[in-house]
Amino acid sequence: MAITPPPQRIWWKEPIAKVELSWIIIAFVWGLVMFFMMIYWHGAGEQNLSNEAYKITPERFAEKSQAMIDEYTVREENYFPVVHPPAGSDVYLIARLWQWWPILELKKGETYRLHLSSLDWMHGFSLQPVNINVQVHPGYEMVVTIKPDQAGEFGIVCNEYCGLGHHLMVGKIYVVE
């Protein structure tokens, strides 16, 4: 019986009990179901981001970001530039100790390609309350296609510990009508 230990303690020579075999089969079939559901939900589910990743130097990403900031800054808020790029454009957001740079102002209902990269350490981009989560690595440019569907102020927090000022690493994205 499977509940009591075998008398000779040589378990690999004992036959598998029907109860154990049935649980092994159930676990294996359930594992296959879950595996194929992951593939199905990746394609059919709406919870997966459409993102891309490219290698880039931190210096090059900073240049591209600064060019966008120089061209589309509309105002300043707490010494941060607020950038309002045209609809459908590429927007850049820099992660660095301990800030998200710049503040973005996007238009509701328009599609943007949001480029994320870090200039120093690994950070986590978490857009709240939408719950978009992306790991942001130095040397890589993550590109996420977004289409804001509601107006308001959205917070960005770093959800990867990045040092002593990690708790201060918050940013904003404004979505306007």
Is pLDDT larger for residue 5 or for residue 19?
Answer: 19
The residue segments making up the domain with residue 22 are 11-44
CATH classification at residue 124: 2.60.40.420
Same domain, 152 and 93: yes
**Predicted confidence (pLDDT) per residue in 81-134, tens digit:** 999 999 999 999 999 999 999 999 999 999 999 999 999 999 999 998 887 889
Same domain, 99 and 160: yes
Same domain, 168 and 134: yes
Would you say residue 3 lies in a domain?
Answer: no
Is pLDDT larger for residue 77 or for residue 43?
Answer: 77
Would you say residue 4 lies in a domain?
Answer: no
Percentage of the chain modeled with pLDDT above 90: 77
Evaluated on CA atoms 100, 83, 135, 152, the torsion sign reads: positive
Place 39 in a pLDDT band, splitting at 50, 70 and 90.
confident
Same domain, 37 and 80: no
Q: How many domains does the chain have?
A: 2
